[in-house]
């Protein structure tokens, strides 16, 4: 089987490997559709170490091909999605409810760092009973594949932001995750959604997905503009969906006392520290809360997200700006590196 592999810092390419066999708790899935994620681009630059020759990718759906002897809820032929994050469900962190931190910090991030990713014709899913989810009849692969990372992350960003019903939220950066956070904020009852974004096509998508207003950071008055839009008070909640220290600091600056900062940005290229501006943090006594998340997974959550798609509550497919066959996956990956042609998400079909 073929897959897109990491071949050393800055290098990727399609290579061939034998089709894997499932371990006792595993399933092997034949891929039918994938999305490419910017975090793969980060990782190829060296942010998170990946063994050379390992396949990239963590946003895929497909058909169950084989299951291990201990898998009881799924069988070959089932059409399934699987979250980018694949916890075991048994370790201490899983039992505590922090399934993304399975076994240790970021430990459920297996596709890529810990095993072959799923930008490949087949892939192994650990703990299949926990992690696989059936795709309901009538829901397209394209819709379903968005649940595997973008939607669960973006909606988690909005959940963690604890926006009071009718309250206000500023969402920093309208890349794919930020746009899904905008969808999530609208879905969860925010009354004022301010999207921070400079690219016109992304600004337009933000408005389409539910933003009420856009602040263009290239004007250099991001904090001031957001505070003015809330009558000088600041927003109830701010979401960091970029992964940049200045953006993180601005999230603290624009929130009102008692506000919540929800981080889903991946600060892999931020240096060693994030900075909290003390004046706006109330010198550490402003009742502000900072929360973070990594792509919550599991069958039960993804089933709920699919219910939202089935009933038309949200539609992420406008994020698909480009479509490729798997034969063109190297070109698709390259476009994600350069972000040329205003690419947001490329859909790969097999």
146 near a second copy, rule: CB under 8 A: no
Give the interface segment with a second copy, choosing from 115-123, 125-133, 172-180, 318-326 (CB under 8 A).
125-133
Give the interface segment with a second copy, choosing from 14-22, 75-83, 305-313, 322-330 (CB under 8 A).
305-313
Residue ranges in 81-100 that form contacts with a second copy under rule CB under 8 A:
89-90, 92-98, 100
Per-position x/- string for 27-46, each x denoting binding to a second copy as judged by CB under 8 A, each - no binding:
--------------------
3 state DSSP class of 330: helix
Q: With respect to a second copy, which residue has the nearer C-beta, 18 or 232?
A: 232
Beta bridge partners, 60, equal 34, 82
Q: Report whether 131 contacts 148 (CB < 8 A).
A: no
Neighbours of 23 (CB within 10 A): 16
Residue ranges in 41-80 that form contacts with a second copy under rule CB under 8 A:
47, 69-70, 73
Nearest Cα to Cα of residue 179 among 159, 150, 144: 150
The residue from 21, 75, 221, 313 that contacts a second copy (CB under 8 A) is 313
Neighbours of 333 (CB within 10 A): 23
Q: With respect to a second copy, which residue has the nearer C-beta, 163 or 329?
A: 163
Gap between the Cα atoms of 189 and 62, Å rounded: 33
Q: With respect to a second copy, which residue has the nearer C-beta, 10 or 277?
A: 277
Neighbours of 217 (CB within 10 A): 18
User: Between the CA atoms of 224, 208, 179 and 246, what dihedral angle is there, to the nearest 10 degrees?
Assistant: -20
17 near a second copy, rule: CB under 8 A: no
3 state DSSP class of 201: helix
User: Between the CA atoms of 109, 113, 115 and 120, what dihedral angle is there, to the nearest 10 degrees?
Assistant: 90
The residue from 44, 169, 192, 194 that contacts a second copy (CB under 8 A) is 192
148 near a second copy, rule: CB under 8 A: no
293 near a second copy, rule: CB under 8 A: yes
Q: With respect to a second copy, which residue has the nearer C-beta, 13 or 277?
A: 277
The residue from 270, 321, 337, 349 that contacts a second copy (CB under 8 A) is 270
Q: With respect to a second copy, which residue has the nearer C-beta, 50 or 332?
A: 50
337 near a second copy, rule: CB under 8 A: no
The residue from 200, 257, 323, 342 that contacts a second copy (CB under 8 A) is 257
Q: Report whether 185 contacts 206 (CB < 8 A).
A: no
Nearest Cα to Cα of residue 61 among 41, 77, 38, 83: 83
Beta bridge partners, 29, equal 64, 123
Gap between the Cα atoms of 172 and 162, Å rounded: 16
The residue from 268, 318, 339, 342 that contacts a second copy (CB under 8 A) is 268
Per-position x/- string for 216-245, each x denoting binding to a second copy as judged by CB under 8 A, each - no binding:
-----------------x------x--x--
Residue ranges in 105-124 that form contacts with a second copy under rule CB under 8 A:
105-107
Q: Which two tokens stand for residue 190?
A: 């925010």
Gap between the Cα atoms of 141 and 161, Å rounded: 29
Q: With respect to a second copy, which residue has the nearer C-beta, 2 or 291?
A: 291
**DSSP annotation of 164:** P
- Shortest reach from residue 323's CB to a second copy, in Å: 27
- Shortest reach from residue 209's CB to a second copy, in Å: 14
175 near a second copy, rule: CB under 8 A: no
3 state DSSP class of 82: strand
The residue from 18, 283, 340, 341 that contacts a second copy (CB under 8 A) is 283
- Shortest reach from residue 215's CB to a second copy, in Å: 17
Gap between the Cα atoms of 239 and 292, Å rounded: 10
């Amino acid at each position: 089987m073929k897959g897109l592999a990491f071949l050393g810092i800055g290098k990727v390419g399609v290579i061939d490997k034998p089709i894997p066999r499932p371990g006792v708790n595993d399933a092997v899935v034949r891929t039918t559709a994938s999305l490419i994620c910017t975090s793969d681009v980060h990782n190829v630059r060296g942010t998170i170490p990946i063994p050379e020759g390992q396949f990239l990718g963590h946003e895929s759906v497909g058909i169950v091909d084989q299951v291990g002897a201990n898998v009881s809820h799924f069988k070959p032929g089932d059409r399934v999605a699987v979250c980018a994050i694949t916890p075991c469900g048994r370790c201490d962190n899983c039992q505590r409810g922090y399934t993304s931190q399975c076994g240790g910090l970021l430990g459920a991030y297996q596709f890529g760092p810990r095993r072959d990713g799923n930008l490949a014709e087949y892939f192994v899913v650990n703990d299949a009973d926990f992690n696989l989810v059936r795709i309901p009849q009538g829901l397209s692969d394209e819709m379903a594949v968005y649940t595997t990372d973008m939607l669960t992350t973006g909606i988690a960003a909005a959940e963690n932001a604890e926006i009071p019903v009718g309250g206000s939220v500023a969402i920093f950066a309208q890349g794919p995750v930020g746009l899904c956070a905008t969808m999530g904020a609208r879905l969860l009852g925010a009354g004022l959604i301010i999207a921070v974004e400079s690219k016109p096509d992304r600004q337009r998508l933000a408005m389409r997905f539910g933003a009420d207003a856009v602040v263009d950071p290239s004007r250099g008055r991001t904090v001031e503009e957001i505070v003015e839009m809330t009558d000088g008070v600041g927003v109830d909640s701010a979401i960091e969906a970029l992964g940049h220290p200045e953006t993180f600091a601005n999230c603290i600056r624009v929130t009102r006392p008692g506000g919540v900062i929800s981080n889903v940005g991946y600060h892999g290229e931020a240096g060693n520290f994030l900075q909290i501006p003390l004046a706006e943090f109330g010198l550490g006594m402003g009742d502000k809360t900072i929360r973070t998340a990594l792509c919550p997974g599991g069958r039960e959550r993804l089933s709920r997200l699919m219910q939202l798609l089935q009933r038309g509550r949200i539609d992420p497919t406008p994020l698909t700006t480009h479509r490729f066959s798997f034969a063109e996956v190297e070109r698709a990956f390259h476009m994600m590196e350069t972000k040329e042609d205003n690419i947001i998400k490329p859909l790969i079909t097999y």
